Structures are given as structure tokens and as C-alpha cells.
Structure 1
Amino acid sequence: MKGFGVLRTERARLTGLYGTLLLLAGGGLVALVYVLVGQGLYTSVSGAVSTVSPALRRGEVPPPDPGRSPEPARTVAPGEQPPGPDLKDLKAYGFTHTLSDAVTEAMQRRLLTVSLVALAVFAVLSIWLAWWMAGRVLRPLAVITATARRLSGENLHERIALDAPPGELKELADTFDAMLGRMEHLVSAQRRFAANAAHELRTPLAVQRAAAEIGLAGDPPPERVARIRAKLIGVADSSEHLIESLLLLAVSEEGPQSGRPAERVDVAALAAAELEACPHQGLTVERTLAPLTVTGDRTLLGHLVRNLLGNAVRHNRAGGRLGVATTADGELVVSNTGPLIDPVDVPMLLEPFRRRAERQHTAGEGAGLGLSIVASIARAHGAELVARANPAPDGGLTVSVRFRPAEPRRAESGR
């Protein structure tokens, strides 16, 4: 059974293919040589034998006398034998013809035997060469397969790094390396997300436990009970908001819901409505809302705009500025003033649970998921998100989301 398994491998198939092609080429070459040599062989042998005929060497057929003049034509008398070839000449010719046939037949048999032996040797060499060639061609695939079998969640940092000339297999190995890089990034992000989520959820639980065990120990006065009660409610609200954000992040990673058809969404109107509902007292609002319609999930796009505005208000400063703009070419821009941000730290702010400073667990602080949810929803809608730090003295952040504008509605039939 193991032998049959070897015959089913790609190397065996390529060996059969290459060996058959080489064998057909060798057989065709041998047949061509045999036919071409056999066609002119008799003429060559006959001419060679005639020049060295034994009858001529023994003097049985006298050579012509160069000084003898040819006899004139004459009438043959009755009973006289007409002039013609001598009997010795006929014998020499017959001997030469027989010898030529024998030599030609012997040479053809010899040529056929040698050709068959050469073809057999060539067949063996062809199979060996085809097996070696197939192994040489499939060696990169063996490296890729071995690497894929060896990889796990603990060694995703390994790469094939195939050392080979440019070609299809080199491109395959490089593509596999790029895929491993993306997988490593996703697994690292997932592990970091799980660790941060566990930390974020464990902290409010610890606060609730401490408030219940310490603050309510013994017989506390009503004022302390009211204060602890308000603290527990605030921590519960924060935990509820965190869980809702985690669920929203998971939904946004999946993209628009498959059961809900994509619809045309007026992002400018959506931004205007969310801006009215967003508490931005004390901030100078600059709005430039040009018509912008995209195709997507209205609920997710609403969360995208709401999180952008909430992040811009939460991290603003007193008397600062909030800018909201949409453009006809498919761009939504939200900017705000605030603390100066190092441009190197901007990509970090788009990851879950990443903040510029450690969390203080105060009211309205947020869970650090706002911009990561925005980035996830943008990816789900095929949009490009770009965040950049604003220079001094304004500070703050500018986030732009470039959508693919929705195609214009098709004219109704009959109009």
C-alpha cells in the first residue's frame, strides 16, 4: 500500500510525464536515424563492394585495354553467338550483388540491435533524470509544506524565506510569507485584545467588590450607603458601556450584516443629526457638510460618526474647536483641538484599549475602543481611514474617512 501511495505523489506523476516525453523523443530519434541510414545503406554498400570485388582482384575479369579501339558493328552470321558480356563478368556481378545484400542485411540487423540497446539505456537514464528533475522542481513545495506543518500559534514569526530564482514557486513562497505576517499580526492583536479586555473587565469588578466589602462593612451610616450605592451604579454603567463597545467592535469586524441589505446612507445628514445629539457645550463647532451618499449599513455608519464626535469632544479642551466636514468626493473629516500628540503614537490610538495615558476609571473616561471601532467599521465598508496629529498650538487629532461614493440611482424604466 505504501508503494501505491508513492505512485500517487506529484513527483511520481511528473516523473511519468517527463520520462514519457524523453522516451518518446529518444525513440523518435532512433527510428529516424534507422530509417534515414537504412534508405541509403544498400547503395553505399554496393558501391563499396563493387570497387573491391574479389573477382576483380583475382583477375577473373580482365580490365579494359585503354589502347584497344572499339570494334565496329557487324552482322552476326547464322549460328554465331552475338557479342555480349563475358560469363566471368556475370559471375562477378552476381557475387557482388549477393555480397552487397548480405552486408546490408547484416548492417541493418546490427544497427537495429545497437539502436534498441541504446533506447533501453536511454529509457533508464530518462526515468532517473525525470525523477531527479521532478524532485528539483518540487523542492520548494516540500519546504513550504514542512514550514506549514511546523507552524503553530507559538512560532508564527518563522518564515520560509525561499532562496530561489524568481518564478512561480518563489512568488508562492513570498505570498505565503506575507500571509504568515498578516496572521501573526492578527493573532497578536487578538491576544492583546483578550488580555486588555480581561484587564478592563476585572478592574470594575474589583472596585465593586472592594466597595461592597469595605464600604458596606459593619453598620455604615446612610450617607456612606448612598455614596457606595452611587459608586456601584457608576461602575456598573461603565462595565455595561465596555461590554456594549466590545460587542459593537465584534459586529463591526464582521462587516454589514448579511441578512440586512446594503442601503444608500446620507452621511452628511447622519453627521448633522449626530452633531445635534452630541453634548458639545463650550466648544466652537465648524461644520461644512456637502452632500455625501455612500452604500452600507446605516447602524454601523451611525456608530462610526458617533464615536468620532464623542472622541473629539471627550479629548478636547475647554473653549476648544470641533470641526465636522463632508465632501462630495466621499470624505468625512472630524477634527478637534486638545493635547499635543506625538505623530508616532497616532497608529497606536487606533488599536483597542490604547490610550495616551493610563486609565483613571473616572466618569466619562471611555474604554479606549472608540477609534478602534471606527477603524473596524471603515474597513468593513471598504473605506480608508487616516488619522494625523494636529500641530501646535491647537493640538488634538484629525481623522478622515474616505468612502467610495454610492453609484447614482438608475433611472426608472419607462421614463
Structure 2
Amino acid sequence: MRPVRGARSIRWRLTLLYSALFVVAGALLLGFTYFLAASSKGGKAVTSVEGQGPMPAGVPGTLDPPSVNAVVEAVRSDQLHELLVKGCVALAVMALASVALGWLMAGRVLAPLRIMTSAARRISADNLHERLAVAGPEDELKAMADTFDAVLARLEGAFDAQKSFVANASHELRTPLTLQQAIVDVTLADPDASTDALRAALGRVRAAGQEQERLIDALLMLARSQRGVERREFVDLAEVVRERLPDAGVKVEARLDPAPVLGDRQLVERLVVNLTDNAVRHNLPDGEGSWVSVWTGVDAAGRPGLRIENSGPVIAADQAAGLFQPFRRLGPERVRKRDGDGLGMSIVAAVVAAHGGRVLARTRPQGGLVVEVGLPAYVPSGLEFPVPA
């Protein structure tokens, strides 16, 4: 991209603006000065010579008072005209000088902007780690440079996350394919394979295909969640949770108060399913007192929410935020067991972000997790829900 030159450049526009303002101010000053000079009185009319009484008319070598007054007015008019002409000439000369000075000042003011533009052109997807790093006073240009650096930092993070996501997704998709190929190769290598062995191999191939299908469905759901909410309607979060509470495997404690939400029902249902499945799947083994606690209601700020707490293995507190990253599994049980696709909590975070809500996960010292979700409230037309004190 070539730099903008000529009359379209902002430097020329600033120069012309400075010059125009100078010419307008100079013209107003000249007009005001001329008005004051023209409106001032030239003195008293001449009618007599001081100490000699009235001037006699017709005396040789003398001018009668009307003639003297006419001469004074003529001289005064010439002086005003000369003032106007010289003032206009001076204004024209200074207008030309203001163009040169305006060009220099505009160039000095825009110098940091040219440096930032040059540095920004050198930054591409391969070197997003570079920054403008503009030094100088805390003015508008430095604020713009700092904002641009912040945008670059977010872009760098997004690119890194995208690369990591593609690498992880490729790995997760390749794992069942590799397993299927290995099962088929082992089965074909045995010329005496029985019918039962072939059926068992086909069953394992089908299971691997189903795992791959679940992963693809999860990827599609994640993409849809990140696209945003296309339709918003009334959803009772308590009703959705009540329909999808786990009914076996763990002890469930539920307190489901009304929680009217404005959002997409399918996405909200997927959020609840992922959270409940995650709480059951990553829990203590059967017979060791595993439990899940679920709460829905309206918090003190008037926001409907969902809180799911479960027992489970101990996880470091600083690892809780990583749960919402794709293909992240925390804790020893989450690493050893591959009964999840690693996208459940990522979909939860995407659904909450699409609705403009908030989600927070924290670990329990005794083991397990607490996940809190807040979503926008549904308010019927003309009505408002009271905010608890």
C-alpha cells in the first residue's frame, strides 16, 4: 500500500486548515482596525484661529474654514485607503507564510503517526509479537499507539489459540482414525480370524466411529455457539435443569428456584447438559460418596443463574480457568480417562459469551469443582422483576 500524497493527505488538509484560519482571523482583525479608524472623529471643524477671533474671508494667503476641513477629510480618507491597501498586502504575504509554517507544523505533529504507520506495515501474521512501543508524552497519539498494541496482543492470543485448537482438533480426530486402521490391519493380518473375532473388530471400529462422530458434533456445536445467538426467547433455567438432572450414578441435591432467562433454548439446554455430564463424569468412583449439587435462581443483582458443585479429585486452584480451553483435561482422572471429548466446558463458555453472561469455575479444597453461570434476565414488556435486597 502506497502512502497517501497530494491534496488528499491529511498533512495538506491540516496545512490548508491552518492557513484558512489565519486568513480569516487576519481579515477580521484588519476589518475591525479599519472600522475603528474610520469611525473615529477627526477633531473639531476649523472656524477661527486661536487668539485672533474668526478668520476673515477673502484675505490673500489664507483658507477659509470649509476649505481646511475638506483638506483634512481628504488627507484622512487617503490615510484610511493606504491603511487598507497595506493591510491587505501584509495579510496576503502572511497568508503565504502561514502555508509554509502550517506545512512544517503539520509535518511535525504527524511525524509520530508516520512512524506508527511504517511500523504497522511491517507487522503481519508471522510477527504479531512486535509492537509499536511509541515513546513520548501521554497524548492522543500515544494513546492510539497503546490501543493498537493492545489489539495486536489480542490478535496474537487469538492466532495462538486458533493454531492450538487446530492442532488439538487434528490430534483428537486422528486418534479414532488411527485406532480404526490398526483394528482393521490386525484383523486382516489374521487369515484364520473367526466370525466372533471379525464381529468384535467391527464393533470396535464402530465404537471408534461413534467417538469421532461425537467429537465432530461437539466441534459443530462449539462453532455455532461462537457465532452468536440468532433467536432469543423466554427460557426457564430451572425447568431445563429439572428435565436433565442425572438420575443414576451419584447423589443429586437440587434447589431449583425460577430463573427466567432471555436466550436461545437449544444453546441453554446444551449448556446444562454439558455441565451436568461434566459433574457426573469427573466425580469420585461409585461407592465413595460421590455427589452433585445444583442450584438455580436469581442472584442479588437480579441476574438468573445456575450453580453446579460436585465432589471429585483434588485440582490445583490455578488450573480452574484452563477448563474452558478446548481439549483441556485437568487432574489425574481427567488425564487418564478419555470418556469425554474435551470440548464440553469450551462450549459452555461459548454459549455464555454468546448470551452476554458470565461463567466462573473454582476448585474445592476437598476435591471437585464449583461452576457458576449468570445469564441475561427475561423481562416481559412493561414488567420488571424485583431485585432482592
TM-score of the aligned structures, taking structure 2 as reference length:
0.81
Please point out which of 206, 212, 218 is paired with 2:190: 218
Q: Deviations over 1:299-354 (max 9, x none)?
A: 11111111111111111112222111112331101111111111111111110011
Task: Classify 1:140/1:294 alpha carbon distance in 2 versus 1 (closer, same or farther; 3 Å).
Answer: farther
Could you tell me which amino acid in structure 1 is paired with residue 211 of structure 2?
Answer: S
Aligned to 1:335: 309
Matched-pair contact (CA < 8 Å) for 1:216–1:225: no
Aligned to 1:28: 28
Task: Classify 1:295/1:112 alpha carbon distance in 2 versus 1 (closer, same or farther; 3 Å).
Answer: closer
Aligned to 2:202: 229
Q: Deviations over 1:234-277 (max 9, x none)?
A: 22221111111111111111123x3xx422112112111111xx
Aligned to 1:303: 270
Aligned to 1:274: 244
Gaps of 5+ in 2: 384-389
Following the alignment from structure 1 to structure 2, what is the Cα–Cα distance between the partners of residues 31 and 244?
79
Matched-pair contact (CA < 8 Å) for 1:156–1:180: yes
Following the alignment from structure 1 to structure 2, what is the Cα–Cα distance between the partners of residues 198 and 18?
59
Matched-pair contact (CA < 8 Å) for 1:280–1:313: no
Aligned to 1:368: 342
Following the alignment from structure 2 to structure 1, what is the Cα–Cα distance between the partners of residues 139 and 234?
45
Aligned-pair distance for 1:148? Answer: 4.4
Could you tell me which amino acid in structure 1 is paired with residue 125 of structure 2?
Answer: G
* Structure possessing the higher radius of gyration over alpha carbons: 1
Aligned to 1:249: 222
Aligned to 1:355: 329
- Report which stretch shifted further, 308-317 or 23-32: 23-32
The correspondence of residues 13-92 of structure 1 with structure 2, limited to 5 A, is 13-37=13-37, 84=56, 87=59, 90=62
Task: Classify 1:40/1:28 alpha carbon distance in 2 versus 1 (closer, same or farther; 3 Å).
Answer: same
Aligned-pair distance for 1:14? Answer: 2.7
Following the alignment from structure 1 to structure 2, what is the Cα–Cα distance between the partners of residues 218 and 149?
61
- Give the match's secondary structure for 2:244: helix
- Give the match's secondary structure for 1:229: helix
1:321 lines up with 2:321 in the alignment: no
Could you tell me which amino acid in structure 2 is paired with residue 355 of structure 1?
Answer: R
Aligned-pair distance for 1:86? Answer: 8.9
Following the alignment from structure 1 to structure 2, what is the Cα–Cα distance between the partners of residues 344 and 363?
21
Please point out which of 319, 338, 343 is paired with 1:345: 319
- Report which stretch shifted further, 206-215 or 307-316: 206-215
Q: Deviations over 1:104-137 (max 9, x none)?
A: 5775565455434422221112112332343444
Q: Deviations over 1:56-76 (max 9, x none)?
A: xxxxx9x989xxxx9xxxxxx
1:123 lines up with 2:95 in the alignment: yes
Following the alignment from structure 1 to structure 2, what is the Cα–Cα distance between the partners of residues 409 and 31?
63
Please point out which of 270, 274, 284 is paired with 2:251: 284
Aligned-pair distance for 1:149? Answer: 3.5
- Give the match's secondary structure for 1:325: strand
Aligned to 2:260: 293
- Give the match's secondary structure for 1:216: helix
Aligned identity (percent) is: 39
- Report which stretch shifted further, 28-37 or 244-253: 28-37
Following the alignment from structure 2 to structure 1, what is the Cα–Cα distance between the partners of residues 273 and 115?
49
- Report which stretch shifted further, 218-227 or 195-204: 218-227
Could you tell me which amino acid in structure 1 is paired with residue 205 of structure 2?
Answer: L
Could you tell me which amino acid in structure 2 is paired with residue 240 of structure 1?
Answer: E
Following the alignment from structure 2 to structure 1, what is the Cα–Cα distance between the partners of residues 370 and 40?
91
Following the alignment from structure 2 to structure 1, what is the Cα–Cα distance between the partners of residues 170 and 211?
14
Following the alignment from structure 2 to structure 1, what is the Cα–Cα distance between the partners of residues 295 and 70?
108
Aligned-pair distance for 1:88? Answer: 5.8
- Give the match's secondary structure for 1:23: helix
Following the alignment from structure 2 to structure 1, what is the Cα–Cα distance between the partners of residues 5 and 338?
66
- Report which stretch shifted further, 290-299 or 152-161: 152-161
The correspondence of residues 89-104 of structure 1 with structure 2, limited to 5 A, is 90=62
Aligned-pair distance for 1:183? Answer: 2.4
Following the alignment from structure 1 to structure 2, what is the Cα–Cα distance between the partners of residues 402 and 363?
30
* Count of residues in Structure 1 that have an aligned counterpart in Structure 2: 370
Following the alignment from structure 1 to structure 2, what is the Cα–Cα distance between the partners of residues 17 and 88?
63
Could you tell me which amino acid in structure 2 is paired with residue 250 of structure 1?
Answer: A
Aligned-pair distance for 1:213? Answer: 1.6
Q: CA RMSD in A?
A: 3.7
Following the alignment from structure 1 to structure 2, what is the Cα–Cα distance between the partners of residues 266 and 64?
110
Could you tell me which amino acid in structure 2 is paired with residue 289 of structure 1?
Answer: L
- Give the match's secondary structure for 1:316: coil
Task: Classify 1:362/1:124 alpha carbon distance in 2 versus 1 (closer, same or farther; 3 Å).
Answer: same
Please point out which of 347, 357, 363 is paired with 1:383: 357
- Give the match's secondary structure for 2:183: helix
Aligned-pair distance for 1:376? Answer: 0.5
Aligned to 1:52: none
Q: Deviations over 1:142-171 (max 9, x none)?
A: 455445433322222333444455555554
Could you tell me which amino acid in structure 2 is paired with residue 301 of structure 1?
Answer: V
Following the alignment from structure 1 to structure 2, what is the Cα–Cα distance between the partners of residues 193 and 12?
47
- Give the match's secondary structure for 2:298: coil
Following the alignment from structure 2 to structure 1, what is the Cα–Cα distance between the partners of residues 51 and 237?
118
Could you tell me which amino acid in structure 1 is paired with residue 377 of structure 2?
Answer: P
Aligned-pair distance for 1:174? Answer: 3.9
- Give the match's secondary structure for 2:328: coil
Aligned-pair distance for 1:93? Answer: 8.5
Following the alignment from structure 1 to structure 2, what is the Cα–Cα distance between the partners of residues 12 and 243?
56
Following the alignment from structure 2 to structure 1, what is the Cα–Cα distance between the partners of residues 120 and 206?
51
Aligned-pair distance for 1:94? Answer: 10
Following the alignment from structure 1 to structure 2, what is the Cα–Cα distance between the partners of residues 8 and 200?
53
Following the alignment from structure 2 to structure 1, what is the Cα–Cα distance between the partners of residues 334 and 251?
27
